[in-house]
Amino acid sequence: MFNYLAYLPPSLTSGQFSLVYNSFSLCIAAMIAAAIFFFNAKSEVAEKYRPAILVSGVVVTIAAYHYFRIFNSWDAAYVLESGTYTVTGEIFNDAYRYADWILTVPLLLIETIAVLALPKEVAKSLYVKLVIASVLMLVTGYVGEISDDVTTRAIWGTISTIPFAYILYVLWIELGKLIDNQVAEVKSLLGSMRLLLLLSWGVYPIAYLLPVLGIASVTASVGVQVGYTIADLLAKPVFGLLVYSIARVKTQADAVETAPVSSEN
């Protein structure tokens, strides 16, 4: 099993420690602010799109809690001595990330489908496919994450890529066939959502592979923490704002469609 204490460099410069420390702090603030926004913004969209906005709020709330735990764990893992941060012997529990992802990643995919208000049976089929694939992706990735063997980490990282590729297939191919009747602005926003998902999720394997690529332990440790944090900011609050934008556009489009047509005498 992976020893999270052993994974930490024995010492960090003030700049290296502060970079991670401040990125966690920024992420907590962003998640809390996003949660407040989403829970209040649900009243600005039609009722059938509100579940997607509520899910966005739940996602960032879960993330804020876990980042608070990660932040405290990082702070406890190091102590400042003579201008250098050295390990205290406290374990840095990075497993909080996977506890977060096992909840939030399926929810992110659910909100992607929920905001389109597709027919019930169609949406249910997509939910099942995406949730199962996301859980498989995370479980197999975690097996590699907790290993201190580079080969094992690379093998399970590769296996984890298979369900990830399937998720992309569902979002681009299967979902793409179902949005022909959406208004142009929704199609554009949905395209941005899928690209953001690809961009943000693409950061995770890069950070995951830093130790495999032989990057120096200090650089790898700092790079993993900052990289995952940036990816979470993109994949959760920023992604949620795109979901909100789609809900607003669809609400306005629905209002135009149902508005009574005035006639002149």
Q: What is the pLDDT of residue 246?
A: 94
Q: What is the mean pLDDT of the chain?
A: 88
Q: What is the mean pLDDT of residues 109-122?
A: 92
Is residue 156 over pLDDT 50? yes
Backbone φ and ψ for 87, nearest 5 degrees, come out as -65, 145
The confidence score (pLDDT) of residue 253 equals: 87
C-beta of residue 64 within 8 angstroms of C-beta of residue 241: no
Query: Which is more confident, 108 or 209?
Result: 108
pLDDT tens readout for residues 29-54: 999 999 999 999 999 999 999 999 99
Tell if the pTM clears 0.85, that is, is over it: yes
Q: How many Cα atoms sit within 13 Å of 60 on the Cβ side?
A: 27
- Model confidence band, residue 203 (pLDDT cutoffs 50, 70, 90): confident
185 vs 219, higher pLDDT: 185
Domains and CATH numbers, the chain: 4-250 (1.20.1070.10)
Q: What is the mean pLDDT of residues 175-193?
A: 86
pLDDT for residue 200: 83
**What pLDDT, on the 0 to 100 scale, is given for residue 213?**
67
In the predicted structure, residue 265 carries a pLDDT above the cut 50: no
pLDDT in tens, 43-95: 999 999 999 999 999 999 999 999 999 999 999 999 999 999 999 988 888 88
